[in-house]
Structure 1
Amino acid sequence: MKIFITGASGYIGGSIATALVSAGYDVMGLCRSVDQVPLLKQKNIEPILGTLSDERVLLQAARSADAVINAADADNPFVVEVLLQALGGSGKKLIHTSGSSIVGDRAAGDPSDRIFHEDSPRPIRFEKIGRVAVDTRVAEGANQGVSSVVLCPCLIYGQGTGLHSQSIQIPRMIEIAKKHQMARYIGRGENIWSTVHIEDVVRAYLLALEKAPGGSFFFLENGESSFKEIAETIHSQLNFEGTAQSWAVEEAVKEWGQEGAHFAFGSNSRIRSNKARNVLGWISTYPSVIDWLNDTDLWEITS
């Protein structure tokens, strides 16, 4: 079975691609840079040179595959339309990668007790309209003869197995801690995100290829932590004096930008994965991001 995957040189896509190879799949991976071609070949991934704007490349690769995984850009409607066009009427699988910031709020570090399941009504914030629209369009692909699926992970941690081995949120918090000799959280730091290890995420993709029905949507999580807990653990593991400190969201914006400060680090994003466990038989194995931080040499992690 041949799989075409976008984002094959990235953290999520690269980890999925290497797992697919290990599982015996033939894998084609989209890559933007000529420099990445030999690196993908070393991992037994067939490089497809092109970008997310190359309609001809996307169409040809998708049509030649038995299934497609989009792990490159959760907010790109063009890519989704091209892939749906390529697979229309084929009954082939299309798995699209979203992200749980779609249920995020502008909490500036304050907590929320709101928890989302797949069938929960979801607020549509202005900042996330585009991503929600893309998710909806993917699900509608089931009406075009595409077995289309959306997987929506939360804060991902752990060592990736592709060309890019680090995630985004945790490494950026570690980077800021090293820069200031002090870990930071926004406001009270009581905002909570669900978390999941990259290896558990990858396992869900392999299961979705085999078991996910067309038009379905799955959250992926295994536990949750507040950002103050995460920051304090980072601070302790880096052996800095004192404790992690609060950061006004306005100051955080200077380092992380508006999107990062408000949604990646200052919001709540609490989800549950009952559907993935019940429908896909997904079993997550890593206990918590705090345990992982305590068992990891954080000086080796860069964003």
Structure 2
Amino acid sequence: MSLNVLITGASGYIGGSIVAEFLSLKRGGTLETLVIHAAVRSPEQAHSLKKLDVNVVQLNLSDETAVTEYLLSNDIDLIINNATSIDPRIASSLISGLQKQREATEKEVFFVQTTGLSAFDENTNWPFGEVKDTDNVYDLEKRSRETYVVREVDAINFNLWECADLKRDGRGSGTWNQLSPQIPALIQASIKHKQVYKFGENRLNNQSGAQDATLAHVSDVAKFYGQLIEAIFLGRELPAGENGHYFLVSHVVSWWDIMDRLAANLHARGLVTTAATKVWPSDEMAAESVGVPSRFAHSMWNSSPKVLCEKGSIIGWKPVWTGESFLDSLGQEIDDFLELGLPKSSLLSSLKPVSGHGMN
């Protein structure tokens, strides 16, 4: 069996790590007939991928005609969309194009949307409390879609296949953007103020059950996608459609623990004046410091979604990283930021309002 996969956001933090994982599986012979198509936005991003065994395309993903033409002309079977979780136009364009591919070829096709656990946090008006990925997550998101754009985009995807929800940390293995902007934005703000700030409440998602968590290291996330595509390649039956959410979470870490460890590491490097943290004087100051509208500051840097990961075991996913190993890695996160700077990512800028869509 051959499989043609299109990875959007292929030069990004998650997308680039998925590309690297898939290439590793190809080289190892597990998926030697896999053909990887990598969609990027700029010539610079395309250049960063040109030496890899991938077909690079600079594609406007909101142009449904161009997307459909590319899918049909390259016989794409599977899309993994990492481009955005807040622009419904892109999700709709990709899904519509893939549906036309299915109609034209009568082959089975697959759509995987990478989204975020902020959709299940009370800071974004999630009204249903704790949720498992074995619940009917689509129905719950549909009922609250108008209060948060991530849920609106998730709801678009239900009638096609999978939807992987995650928070992630660590250094990626892609060629262009190797860092998530989340921790680097905090580091940059702390260095600017010579002080590490935190939000006033210590929100810890510490529900019952060993699988309950708030983070997953990017290397564990990439491994999940590798195991997922192997299962699809082998023709295994997987939960999909309305049952297609997979919560990629692996460890529990409180934000105060993160900020305390960052403060200690930054102070040891002489980058802040004290190892003690302070509470942000206002949400507006916090939002301005990390570069997002104020309504997104809590969902990005003080979230505690009450979620349980139960489906990962279906494909044999066993995360390697733990909460303590993540905290121990924050010194390396600082070194990575000092080396690479704030990621070349559109995530933070994309958190600005999308015209016509509720983002309360």
Q: Deviation string for 1:204-241 (max 9, x for gaps)?
A: 11222243343111101011211111011001111242
Tell me the residue number matched to 1:287.
Answer: 322
State the 1:203 CA deviation: 1.1
Change (3 A) 1:78 1:20: same
From the two aligned structures, give the one with the greater strand fraction. Answer: 1
Report SS of the residue matched to 1:174. Answer: helix
CA distance in 2 between partners of 1:242 and 1:233 (Å): 9
Q: Distance in 1 between matches of 2:94 and 2:146?
A: 26
What is the letter of the counterpart of residue 236 of structure 1?
A
Structure 2: runs of 5 or more not aligned: 27-33, 206-212, 232-237, 343-360
Match of 2:248 among 220, 230, 237: 220
- Structure 1 unmatched ranges of 5 or more: 108-113, 142-147
Correspondence for 2:132: 117
> Does residue 140 in structure 1 map to residue 159 in structure 2?
yes
Question: Does 1:23 find its partner at 2:58?
Answer: no
Aligned to 2:84: 73
Alignment equivalent of 1:233, drawn from 258, 261, 264: 261
1:242 aligns with 2:258: no
Given the superposition, is the C-alpha separation of residues 165 and 234 from structure 1 closer, same or farther in structure 2, using an over 3 Å criterion? same
What residue identity is the alignment partner of 1:265?
Answer: W
Work out the CA distance in 2 between the residues paired with 1:200 and 1:180.
Answer: 33
Return the offset for 1:19.
1.3
Shift of 1:44: 2.6
| Alignment RMSD (CA, Å) | 2.2
Kindly provide the CA deviation profile for residues 6-28 of structure 1, in whole angstroms up to 9, marking residues without a partner as x: 11111111111121122113211
Q: Which residue of 2 aligns with 1:265?
A: 301
Query: For residues 152 and 11 of structure 1, what CA distance do their matches in structure 2 show?
Result: 15
Report the Cα offset of residue 267 of structure 1.
3.0
Structure 2 vs 1, CA of residues 126 and 231 (structure 1 numbering), >3 Å: closer, same or farther?
farther
Contact 1:50 1:57 in 2 (8 A): yes
SS in 1 for 2:305: coil
The aligned residue for residue 185 of structure 1 is: 198
Q: Counterpart of 1:16 in 2: which secondary structure?
A: helix
Contact in 2 for aligned 1:187/1:249 (Cα 8 Å): no
Matched, 1:160 2:172: yes
1:116-168 alpha-carbon deviations (Å, 9 max, x no partner): 3121775737541x322322221212xxxxxx2100012x1111111100002
My pick for the range that moved more, 54-63 or 92-101, is 54-63
2:86 is aligned with 1:58: no
Cα offset for 1:195? Answer: 0.7
- Whether the aligned pair in 2 keeps the contact of 1:4 and 1:61 (CA below 8 Å) is no
* Letter of the structure 2 residue corresponding to residue 231 of structure 1: M
Distance in 2 between residues matched to 1:237 and 1:178, nearest whole Å: 12
Amino acid at match of 2:173: T
Residue 144 of structure 1 corresponds to none
* Residue type at the aligned position of 1:262: H
TM-score under structure 2 length normalisation: 0.73
Tell me the amino acid that sits aligned with residue 226 of structure 1: S
Alignment coverage as a number of residue pairs: 287
Give the corresponding residue for 1:111. Answer: none
TM-score normalised over the length of structure 1: 0.86
- SS where residue 151 of structure 1 aligns? strand
Q: Which residue of 2 aligns with 1:10?
A: 12
Given the superposition, is the C-alpha separation of residues 217 and 44 from structure 1 closer, same or farther in structure 2, using an over 3 Å criterion? Answer: same
> For 1:136 and 1:208, how far apart are their aligned partners in 2?
21
- CA separation of 1:259 and 1:125: change in aligned 2, threshold 3 A: farther
